[in-house]
Amino acid sequence: MFRLLRLLVESFVRLLRSRRDLMLENLALRQQLAVFKSKNGRPRLATSDKLFWVAVRRLWAGWKKALTVVTPETVVRWHRAGFRLYWAWLSRQRVRAGRKRISEAVRDLIFQMVVDNPTWRAPRIHGELKMLGFDVSERTVSRWIRRAPRSPEPAKRWLTFLRNHREAIAAMDFFTVPTLTFGVLYCFFIIAHDRRRILHFNLTRNPTTAWVRQQLREAFPYESAPKYLIFDRDAKFSPEIVAAVRAMGSQPTRTSFRSPWQNGVAERWVGSCRQDLLNHVIAFNERHLKRLLLEYIVGVRATPSSKSATSVLN
């Protein structure tokens, strides 16, 4: 009895509704019926079905009453997703106004100039770019300079220091050589960075602080010390040696712990000396090794060191 009464009430209400609403409701119900018939198992709506319900939501106020496949919140979510896709597509098609952005290669070149030349400013970098053929304004260069990384890696900072001051840098180091009598000789040398010249070398069996200080005095007489002197953190280079280097007017620059690459010029010379000479002969004694090293240094055209080497032999 209750079902019959409900059916009569719904029929009377439908008679009062407009023909347009009846057609839309009939179309919505048919669409959902087609979804249930065309799918096996749980119905899954295709893109066309989602577009249909988004359009019905815009055209018919009573769309929620006829919806049974999904909830109304799902249709609203579909509508919002389509709205976002539309505006994303529209923003990609938009024509950019204003000055054309510089290429990534030019930006990287500006950053490289800033890192390699910390004292350069926008006018200097702009002039260099003009000479290289890049058409870019000084204001653009100034803007990208402010965005350049200010703290490069420690290795890059060290290499920049070596390149900018190579003519005012010398390095000193020790290396050991075994003798025929199973003794060990300590070879001390000082090398200039500009032309890879050996400025001074000498040998000893016991490298004390006083001995190293004397070698520095012989290598740099009459205030001829370089501006920077690089050496590692070997115990033989004690604080007294650091003070002696400062007293000569040179700035001591000690490498980091376990970083032989920071004194790469000296390390490479030691490697070349071992590969070319020391790996092929056995030194009898200290005088024999001095003569071999002197001949090797003169042979590689290190003429500025010949006077120091000759003084050591004499």
CA atoms within 13 A on the CB side of 147: 9
What integer pLDDT is reported at residue 87 of this predicted model? 75
Per the model's pLDDT, the better-predicted residue between 34 and 195 turns out to be: 195
Structural domain count, the chain: 3
What integer pLDDT is reported at residue 309 of this predicted model? 41
- Is the same domain home to 85 and 187? no
pLDDT of 129 over the 70 cut: yes
Q: How confident is the model at residue 89 (pLDDT cuts 50, 70, 90)?
A: confident
pLDDT of 16 over the 70 cut: no
Look at residues 87, 80, 83, 79 and name the one whose alpha carbon lies nearest to residue 56: 79
Q: In what order do the strands lie in the sheet with 251-254?
A: 198-204, 184-192, 169-178, 228-231, 251-254
Contact 135, 147 (CB under 8 A): no
In this structure, what token pair is assigned to residue 301?
Answer: 């055209």
Token pair 């009464």 is found at 5
In this structure, what token pair is assigned to residue 148?
Answer: 């350049």
One-letter amino acid for residue 307 of the chain: K
- Is the same domain home to 174 and 268? yes
What integer pLDDT is reported at residue 73 of this predicted model? 76
What average pLDDT score do residues 19-35 get? 63
Measured at the alpha carbon of residue 257, what is the angle toward residues 256 and 259, in degrees to the nearest 5?
A: 70
Please state whether beta strands 228-231 and 169-178 pair in parallel, antiparallel, or not at all (unpaired). parallel
CA atoms of 192 and 171, how far apart (whole Å): 6
Contact 254, 171 (CB under 8 A): no
pLDDT of 178 over the 60 cut: yes
- Is the same domain home to 62 and 168? no
- Is the same domain home to 33 and 65? yes
Per the model's pLDDT, the better-predicted residue between 98 and 91 turns out to be: 91
Tell me whether residue 98 is in a domain: no
- Is the same domain home to 109 and 226? no
Which ranges constitute the DSSP H helices of 102-164?
A: 104-116, 122-131, 138-146, 154-164
What integer pLDDT is reported at residue 118 of this predicted model? 77
Residue 84: give the domain boundaries.
2-92
Tell me whether residue 86 is in a domain: yes
**pTM above 0.75?**
no
Question: What CATH number is given to the structural domain containing 177?
Answer: 3.30.420.10
pLDDT in tens, 29-85: 666 656 655 555 555 666 776 777 677 766 666 666 666 666 777 777 777 887 777
pLDDT in tens, 222-242: 888 999 999 999 999 999 999
- Is the same domain home to 189 and 271? yes
CA atoms of 146 and 137, how far apart (whole Å): 15
